[in-house]
Structure 1
Amino acid sequence: MNGENQIQKAYESILGHDFEGAIEWFEKAIAEEPNNAVYHHKLSITFARSNKLTKAVEHAARANELDPANEAFLFHLQVLNARELVEQASRQLTIQSDHAERAIFLLKEAIALDPLAIEAYLMLGEAFAMRKDYARAYQTVMEAVRLEPHHELAKQHATIYKIKMNTELGPRHR
């Protein structure tokens, strides 16, 4: 017996916007074929879309473990790991601003894993701004603008950091 029927049911659930049902069907497929990397990958994607990041990472890691040569599985795992780091950094910045150094480290790691993680660039810019390092804050959000030129929040932050940077430098450095 194989899990293809369950996979088909999972897709039907997704088309019906029943993501919890899809998760159940993917899990049934995995029960049929526990070493099928593709099934773990598909379940991981569904968990990620349902904001169940821990489970998404677990199944992405399993898919990567089962098929380490699959670049798509590795990329997906890296993106999920980056999301986890961004969430950790967000908690650090929420606790209090003196955790900015730890958040900066986490966000740089997230960007290394997923260079397209716009949220990581924005948060990193915010962390630099908390340290009043407006030049680095500006550079960081400008990288986000370079990656996504129509990202309004990134452009707004760039404007704010540029103004603050120029204010900090004083009139003779402008």
Structure 2
Amino acid sequence: MNGENQIQKAYESILGHDFEKAIAWFEEAIAAEPNNAAYHYKLSITFARSNKLLKAIEYASKALELEVENEVYRYHLQVLHARELVEKALKQLSLESEHAERVIFLLKEAITLDPLSIEAYLILGEAFASRKDYARAYQTVQEAIRLEPHHEIAKQKAALYQLKMK
């Protein structure tokens, strides 16, 4: 028995914006073909889009375990780990400014894993600004602008940090 029929049903559910049903169909496909890495990968993407990051990481890890050489699976898992680090950094940043060093470490690690994470650059800029290191805050959001030139929040933050440097 293969899971292709369930995969088609999962895609139909996604097109109907029913992500919970899509997850159930992907899980059924995996039950039918537990060693099909692509099914684990697809379920991981659906979990990630549903903001269920830990489940997304779990299934992305399994996909990579099944196909160790697959660079797409490896990159997807890296991006998920980067999102996890950004979430941890956000929680710590909101606690106290005394956690700024830890936040900066987490965000630099996230950027290493996913150098295209605009969110990581913006939050890293905030962490530098919380230490009144406006030059580094400005440099950091400039990197976000380089990646996405029309990002309004990044441009606003850059202007703010530039003013505070004067």
TM tier, shorter chain? Answer: over 0.9
Q: Deviations over 1:22-60 (max 9, x none)?
A: 000000000111111000000000000101001001001
- Asked whether 1:125 is paired with 2:91, we answer no
- Asked whether 1:103 is paired with 2:103, we answer yes
Name the residue aligned to 1:53.
53
Equivalences, count: 166
- Asked whether 1:78 is paired with 2:78, we answer yes
Deviation at 1:80, TM superposition (A): 0.5
Alignment of 1:54-69 (within 5 A): 54-69=54-69
| Paired letter, 2:72 | A
Name the CA distance, whole Å, in 2 between partners of 1:114 and 1:81.
Answer: 9
| Paired letter, 1:44 | S
Choose 1 or 2 for highest CA Rg. 1
| Paired letter, 1:75 | Y
Name the CA distance, whole Å, in 2 between partners of 1:148 and 1:4.
Answer: 38
| Paired letter, 2:131 | R
Consecutive unaligned residues of structure 1, counting only runs of 5 or more, are 167-174
Report % sequence identity. 75
RMSD: 0.5
Name the residue aligned to 2:18.
18
SS for the counterpart of 1:22 is helix
Q: Deviations over 1:133-173 (max 9, x none)?
A: 1100000000000000000000000000011011xxxxxxx
Greater than 6 Å deviation, 4+ residue runs: none
Deviation at 1:67, TM superposition (A): 0.6
Name the CA distance, whole Å, in 1 between partners of 2:109 and 2:34.
Answer: 31
* TM, length-normalised to structure 2: 0.99
| Paired letter, 1:126 | E
SS for the counterpart of 2:34 is coil
Name the residue aligned to 2:135.
135
Deviation at 1:8, TM superposition (A): 0.7
Name the residue aligned to 1:151.
151
Deviation at 1:68, TM superposition (A): 1.3
Consecutive unaligned residues of structure 2, counting only runs of 5 or more, are none
SS for the counterpart of 1:23 is helix
| Paired letter, 1:133 | D
* TM, length-normalised to structure 1: 0.94
| Paired letter, 1:31 | A
Name the CA distance, whole Å, in 2 between partners of 1:35 and 1:105.
Answer: 36
Q: Deviations over 1:80-109 (max 9, x none)?
A: 000000000000001111101000000000
| Paired letter, 2:76 | H
Name the residue aligned to 1:172.
none
